[in-house]
């Protein structure tokens, strides 16, 4: 029954694996526990920002539920994580009329003065345009109103916009939320400061209000905005990487790790980013345990903490477990939609073998195996020890960034059938990999 070489995928053992794979799919698709737990976690504990009491309560619940699942070596390993607190905040258009503007401070931002900041707005679309208008920026609130060209393009203004605006004398900075749609739904996320540049408050507003401010500026109506933020960064707080496993029968010291990140931003309840990824990877291991499938190697589910603003969980795991023999590291953080791609990063010879998984994965859905596995949490150890990396990509039809880092990231955005398909695909991929010679 072991996958000893590439030929075994098309040889006499195919029927054996087909039977096992079908049992995994049948069990996953008939099970409501994964979705029920996702709803419970999000509804009961709410947002899970690093350093928060909500997060640690959720992590202790995960630990206790893993014990109920009879996973082995269940533990919560200590990790100190950043502790940024939003506090009260608001944004208001003052001229040419008064109107409230939905906003979210960006993670890591400083507060405004106690009286807030009231200043004219300068709307720009790029760093180059800001440089060209540098003489107009002093004493103003700079708004980066960049049309959506993808997350990688948009997020640069979220991450570094405050630095660029402060360098030309702005008193605060705003961004058009990093999302393809507006619907008066602001999106938060991590930002950074440069030590050599003054720190200014940095926040996200909605598409609708960014476009409003641009129209006012274009007509020469000189919009004025009042921004108020109480954000603060507290000392690092104690949190945990939570994990449980199935011990391998033949090579228990060789480990297949899979997981997602347990923390979320404090807007919404992190159902898609990345509660669903945590639940799916954890329940892939639970499913194998419940079916009595005994892998050759140890399969360990890790709920990594603090992916959103520091990756302290991934770094702590790498530091603590770097001397263990990791066979594969798998991450799921692409949103719970139809499973579409298993990405894999390793040698060409390994890629050839893993490509043979497709026939089994396509029993779940139209899943391809391609080059390019990735994962923020698994990368510290994978890079350190050159461990093969695998990840699940999903077909979100462009919807993931509708909810990402926003108040709309709640369990109703997750399809229970798609969650179960993701569980099945993950369980099949990691089980087959754990059996390879």
Give the number of other CB atoms < 10 A from CB of residue 223: 23
DSSP state of 5: S
Length of the chain: 437
Given 307, 308, 331, 435, the catalytic residue: 307
Identify which of 5, 9, 7, 67 has the alpha carbon closest to the alpha carbon of residue 428: 9
Alpha-carbon span 339 to 332, nearest angstrom: 11
416-to-70, 86, 134, 353, 412 alpha-carbon distances in Å: 24, 32, 50, 31, 9
Identify which of 189, 202, 374 has the alpha carbon closest to the alpha carbon of residue 264: 189
Angle at 264 between CA 260 and CA 266, to 5 degrees: 175
* Torsion on CA atoms 267, 271, 274, 275, rounded to nearest 10: 120
- Which of helix, strand or coil describes residue 303? strand
Q: Are 34 and 284 in contact (CB under 8 A)?
A: no
Asked about 397 being catalytic, the answer comes back as no
Strands 325-331 and 389-395: parallel
Q: Are 420 and 35 in contact (CB under 8 A)?
A: yes
Across the beta sheet with 103-105, what order do the strands follow?
Answer: 99-100, 89-95, 224-229, 117-124, 141-144, 172-176, 202-205, 103-105
DSSP state of 409: -
Q: Are 365 and 358 in contact (CB under 8 A)?
A: no
How distant is the alpha carbon of residue 285 from its chain centre? 20
Question: Which single residue is written with the structure tokens 């950074």?
Answer: 192
Give the number of other CB atoms < 10 A from CB of residue 306: 28
Token representation of residue 277:
């990824």
Q: Are 125 and 271 in contact (CB under 8 A)?
A: no
Show which residues are catalytic: 307
């Amino acid at each position: 029954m072991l996958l000893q070489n590439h030929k075994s995928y098309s040889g006499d053992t195919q029927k054996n694996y087909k039977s096992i794979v079908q049992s995994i799919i049948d069990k996953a698709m008939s099970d409501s526990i994964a979705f029920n737990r996702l709803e419970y976690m999000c509804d009961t504990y709410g947002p899970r920002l690093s350093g928060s009491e909500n997060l640690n309560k959720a992590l202790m619940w995960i630990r206790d539920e893993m014990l109920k699942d009879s996973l082995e070596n269940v533990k919560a390993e200590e990790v100190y994580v950043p502790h940024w607190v939003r506090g009260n905040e608001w944004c208001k258009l003052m001229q040419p009329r008064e109107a409230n503007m939905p906003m979210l401070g960006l993670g890591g931002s400083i507060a405004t003065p106690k009286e807030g900041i009231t200043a004219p707005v300068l709307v720009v679309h790029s760093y180059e345009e800001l440089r060209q208008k540098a003489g107009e920026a002093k004493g103003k609130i700079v708004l980066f109103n960049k049309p959506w060209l993808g997350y990688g393009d948009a997020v640069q203004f979220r991450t570094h916009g405050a630095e660029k605006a402060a360098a030309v004398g702005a008193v605060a900075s705003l961004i058009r939320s990093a999302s393809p749609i507006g619907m008066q739904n602001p999106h938060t996320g991590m930002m950074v400061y440069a030590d050599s540049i003054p720190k200014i408050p940095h926040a996200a507003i909605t598409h609708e209000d960014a476009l409003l401010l641009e129209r006012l500026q274009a007509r020469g109506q000189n919009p004025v905005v009042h921004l108020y933020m109480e954000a603060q960064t507290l000392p690092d707080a104690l949190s945990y990487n939570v994990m449980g496993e199935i011990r391998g029968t033949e090579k228990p010291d060789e480990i297949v790790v899979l997981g997602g990140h347990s923390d979320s931003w404090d807007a919404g309840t992190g159902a898609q980013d990345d509660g669903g990824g945590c639940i799916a990877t954890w329940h892939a291991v639970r499913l194998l345990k419940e079916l009595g499938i005994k892998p050759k190697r140890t399969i360990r589910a890790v709920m990594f903490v603090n992916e959103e603003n520091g990756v302290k969980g991934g770094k702590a795991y790498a530091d603590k477990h770097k001397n263990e023999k990791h066979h594969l590291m798998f991450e799921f953080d692409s949103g719970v939609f139809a499973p579409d791609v298993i990405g894999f990063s390793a040698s060409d010879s390994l890629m050839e073998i893993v490509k043979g998984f497709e026939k089994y994965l396509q029993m779940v859905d139209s899943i391809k195996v391609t080059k390019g596995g990735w994962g923020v949490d698994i990368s510290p150890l994978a890079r350190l020890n050159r461990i093969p990396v695998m990840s699940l990509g999903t077909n979100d039809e462009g919807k993931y960034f509708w909810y990402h880092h926003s108040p709309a990231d709640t369990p109703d955005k997750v399809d229970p059938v798609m969650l179960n398909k993701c569980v099945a695909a993950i369980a099949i991929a990691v089980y087959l990999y754990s059996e390879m010679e």
